[in-house]
Amino acid sequence: MEYYSIAQIKNMEEEAKKRGVTENKMMDTAGRLAADFIDKNIEFKRAVFIAGTGNNGGDALSAAFHLFNLNHSNIEVIVVGKQEELKENPKVFLYLINDIKDISVKFISDSAALNSIKEDIKDADILVVGLFGTGFHGDLLP
């Protein structure tokens, strides 16, 4: 398996943009490939996706959408943040999954509600976290 630094990833994304690949297409591809990997390699009954409001969250939303399209159900999406804080590209994937009854979506935007995530994920067979990506700034605190 190959690993890339943040700088390398940002350079690859910039090169892709120069070649006409949109951020939305990159997000769609990342989600599709993640869903394909899960579908082919992991047996599960319940999947939980935790998404932030940025592009990494959009990757998680895209993966949930594509996993459903691979005939999986019992998918839960938890968005950490407010719906109005979602960047434009993640909004596209939220729109796609909002009307799918086999995907439940909830937003958590206050610290008290964050504790409920423990309950949401305890029975998950698979957990996909899309909170922090290459654009993260600041300190990670416990």
Q: Which domains are delineated in the chain?
A: 22-130 (3.40.50.10260)
The Cβ of residue 69 has, within 10 Å, a number of other Cβ atoms equal to 13
Q: What pLDDT, on a 0 to 100 scale, did the predictor assign at position 120? A: 86
What separation in angstroms does the CA of 25 have from each of 31, 39, 51? Answer: 10, 21, 18
**What digits encode the pLDDT tens for the residues 89-113?**
999 999 999 989 999 999 998 877 7
**What digits encode the pLDDT tens for the residues 41-100?**
999 999 999 999 999 999 999 999 999 999 999 999 999 999 999 999 999 999 999 989
Q: What pLDDT, on a 0 to 100 scale, did the predictor assign at position 88? A: 94
Q: What pLDDT, on a 0 to 100 scale, did the predictor assign at position 142? A: 63
Choose among 118, 102, 129, 116: nearest CA to 46: 102
Beta 126-130 vs 103-108: how paired, if at all? unpaired
**What digits encode the pLDDT tens for the residues 9-43?**
999 999 999 999 999 999 999 999 999 999 999 99
Reported pTM: 0.90
**The Cα angle at residue 38 between residues 37 and 44, in degrees rounded to 5:** 160
